[in-house]
Amino acid sequence: MASRPACRTLTEDELYAELATGRFRRVVICTGAGVSTAAGVADFRSKGGLFDAIRAKYAARFPDVLAEPERLLSRQFVREHPQVWRKEVQPWLRQWKAVDAVPTATHRFCAWLHRQGWLRRVYTQNVDGLHSHASLGLPAELVVEVHGALRDGSIVLYGDALPRRVIACASADFHSGNSPDLVLVFGTALQVAPFCALPNLAPVGCTRVLVNRDLSHALRNAWSTPARRGGLDAMSGLSDGGLYGSGASVASSTKIGGRHVTLRPRWDVKEEKRWRQRQQGQNGRLGRATARHRGLFGRRFLLSGCYPRPLEAAGP
């Protein structure tokens, strides 16, 4: 049996240097709510976020959303209350919060990678549209809004299949003959399926880096434990792209572009592969080309340089 390629530990400074010198030329980025909080867009679950707004506005009429505000964003709610959705909820969502937000350092970093010719694609869970902001100049074909966007009412609801473009892009980007050499995961705890499976498509030997405010939150999710039924995600079969959900699902894997991939986090948690939390203003050896983007790795984030364990074909 052929031996698998060895994985070396990448230090934080080495990542900066290798980015600056162009070692990585096929970069895939996955982003979540943490990249937009600096723009004033609260993540869904934090105080002042969308879920709080849903409770305040709709819990009196729809008591179920008090405990599970995501129910308002489910296909089931649309079927049960079509007029409320069309005349009230959908217009409200389009104007919610993110209208005046501007891109953060993370969004600008993605645009910088594009200008260097090294960005393969950005996959984002966010519905704020900031990766598509006109000031960045990112071509539309390089941005995949996995859960849609508030600006045009295209948000993907709990219980919906993902847009076909998500599957098509993932199939192309992680093709065995042209796979990424760097996967960067920013500002997400990887708790929502099937988005949480995207970093697991990286081939053995691909450099993966996970950046999150609390790293421990991204090391386990609902699929890390034995399967159980219940919650919104029980609606999902998670077959070939799956259905959008965040509860515990019967399945612990999904199919993306015909490939079985686990929904469970696959990160090496050894201490030597974790980087210290960097505070803005500290000195560091950065390549000139990346120094301006150092705010990307600011005080809100804990960094971990992680390489994937061998990715066996995930079973059903």
Residue positions annotated with a catalytic role: 147
CA distances from 159 to 152, 178, 257 (A): 19, 32, 19
State whether residue 198 is helix, strand or coil: helix
CA dihedral sign of residues 166, 169, 174, 180: negative
Beta bridge partners, 304, equal: 210, 274
Q: Cα torsion at 230, 231, 235, 241 (round to 10°)?
A: -110
Q: Give the Å distances, CA to CA, from 263 to 236, 247, 250, 297.
A: 13, 12, 11, 26
Using CA atoms, how far residue 48 sits from 43, 44, 65, 70, 87, in Å, is: 8, 8, 16, 15, 24
Rounded to whole angstroms, the Cα distance separating 147 from 126 reads: 7
Task: Judge contact between 103 and 136, C-beta under 8 A.
Answer: yes
What gap in Å lies between CA 198 and CA 30, rounded to an integer? 8
H-run or E-run covering 254: strand 253-256
SS3 label, residue 235: helix
Which H helix or E strand runs over 110?
A: helix 105-116
- Strand 143-145 relative to strand 302-306: parallel, antiparallel, unpaired? unpaired
Question: Which DSSP letter does residue 141 get?
Answer: G
